Amino acid sequence: MTNHENLSGLDKAAIIFQVYGESLALSFFTDLPESSIIKIRVRSKELTGIPPELKKTVLEEFYFKMMTDKYQNNKPSSVRLFDFLDDLNDEQIYYLLKTEKETVMALAIDQVSPSQRNAFLSELNPEIRNVVIRELGSLKSIPLEMVVNIAHELEKKASFLPEPKVFSRGGGKKIADILNQMTEDEASNYLTQLMNDDPETYAEVKKYLLTFEDLLSMSDDIAADFWANPDIDLDELAKALKGVDEQTVNTILEVLPKKKQAMYTPIEKPMRKKDVMAARKVIVGLASEMAKSGEIKIEDILSGSNDEMIE
């Protein structure tokens, strides 16, 4: 008896009795009459020398039929086993999966959007992340019944997750907003300290924060777009440029329209520092508004002084 196609239903049931043992196998056949159970029990004792591969084929067929019957009798509202993940945000998905085996992690994140998948992987330590990525390549080897069971267990666990709440977590933008309310000197001192103590946070803050020094260091093409903006008042510009070296001032004036160049009058007499800083704040505020509207990009302004030329 080596051909699966030649096996009768009685033979297949008898093989299941052999593999699981009578007490466990009986739980699979609760709807059968006692007379049929006796026939299976007798036949299981008669069958000998069943090849392991044949037993495996019978079990796989049985599992598939059992799970198919289960979900036909109790069909879910969606044909997607993992549709419950659609209602979870990135943080909830992380807390749902962070203690699971790498195989379960891989199977679950294979069901979500690429952005959610990347967000989850970025939270893992590199060693576990590498294992999960490898597991993503071998998901086809997971039996159907295991996939169904994993989905069922994760759905139960997901029901106990706290509802997502909207609240502030600080971050680079929040710090930038605070610094924008400070004087230029105060903000500069804080940024210098932050750059030395926490370069990663400093880089995050600089994505959202412009200083007057940033505007003076812009690349030529970005500078031409910004300083020629008609909304820049010449009197405010003259105040803001008070104390700036002559070469930098001339570079800025060169990109102004000829009419504005002729109208520009530098301030020769001493000025109070707070008036200069106030004027610079106005100029920086205009740059920030242009960045919000998409006319210029903060990253372009910040990268200007670091651009390298290739001959």
Domains parsed from the chain with CATH numbers: 4-73 (no CATH), 83-158 (1.10.220.30), 210-306 (1.10.220.30)
308: left (phi over 0), alpha (psi -120 to 50) or beta: beta
To the nearest whole number, what is the mean pLDDT of the chain? 82
Band of pLDDT at residue 306, cut at 50, 70 and 90? very low
Band of pLDDT at residue 67, cut at 50, 70 and 90? low
CA angle 295, 200, 96 (to 5 degrees): 100
Mean pLDDT of the region 198-223 = 85
pLDDT digits (tens, 9 = 90+) for 95-139: 999 999 898 999 999 999 999 999 999 999 999 999 999 999 888
Query: Model's pTM, two decimal places?
Result: 0.43
